[in-house]
Amino acid sequence: MFENLQNKTVLVTGGAGFIGSNLCETLLTNKIKTVCLDNFSTGKKENIAPFLDNSLFTLIEGDIRKLDDCHKACKHVDYVLHEAALGSVPRSINDPITTNDVNVSGFLNMLVAARDANVKRFVYAASSSTYGDHEALPKVEDVIGKPLSPYAITKFVNELYADIFQKTYGLDTIGLRYFNVFGKRQDPNGAYAAVIPLFVKQFINNESPIINGDGSYSRDFTFIDNVIQMNILSLTTTNQEALNTVYNVAYGDRTTLLELATLLKKHLSEFDKEIQNIEIKHRDNRVGDIPHSLASIEKAKKLLKYNPKFNINEGIKEAVNWYWNNL
């Protein structure tokens, strides 16, 4: 899978973040020259600390909202994995302007810089939030609804810009609609922590996790290794039909929040039996949340030969083990 990247340089924007740092690690493990662009607003220096002495790794501290930083990062780069963004629906509701500046203006800057540097392919983090109020399950790439949050709007705009840049400038792109990614290095701290690392931290601290609603909302939780596979396949595919489109990145199964909490309890109680006795609490549903999410991954299987290796149980087991040893 990595043969097509030998002697090439890959830029990972947001490379100090959760997904970005895992991508950097995979590329470096496979001896691929890797450039990381990050402003450390949400990314963490400790995520990339193990890579700093690697001769194949270059860190550029910069901001995608600054076109000059984007041009600097894209210089002599063959491929871009664009992960830099401000995630979180609640964050976008609280501060839509900054979310738009980073996710739309920053995205446009990166497209321009990639175009100017003659980058061969631009693979970017899209989002399952693009499906919006479309209720049918599973989610199929060519049928979406109206966005339910400022964040969802920004991620849909990314897809529109990517399409235009291909048609206008010939820049090949692939958008990856991530479905609730989880795994090692996902930050459990802060106001906008994702549900899995947040619940893990609370269980480890003998605190009750709080579920929004009755726990029946469901998600297609996707382990980080499946996401890495899709990114590398998107970079390396030689199938022209697979380019200039978007894909769901998921496992293709859904888990309710109550089932998730129970699963986390089960695996964490192997380290501390007392965790099994912690009560799960509930509060009102959150504004902007969609009730259910489930991806069709048939398009990715067909065009990219995607074959996700980790289901929710296997992924949770791996993630819990990492958190127990690193929190």
Is the Cβ–Cβ distance between 36 and 15 less than 8 Å? yes
Straight-line distance from the first to the last Cα atom of the chain, in angstroms, rounded to the nearest whole number: 33
The values of phi and psi at residue 97, to 5°, are -70, -50
Distance CA 201, CA 165 (A): 42
- Residue in 79, 124, 131, 151 annotated catalytic: 151
Within 30-127, residue ranges assigned H as helices are 45-48, 67-74, 89-94, 96-100, 106-116
Has 217 been annotated as catalytic?
Answer: no
Distance CA 46, CA 38 (A): 13
Q: Which two tokens stand for residue 283?
A: 């509060």
For the chain, how many helices (H) and strands (E)?
A: 12, 13
DSSP reduced 3-state for 177? strand
Indicate which residues carry an active-site annotation. 151
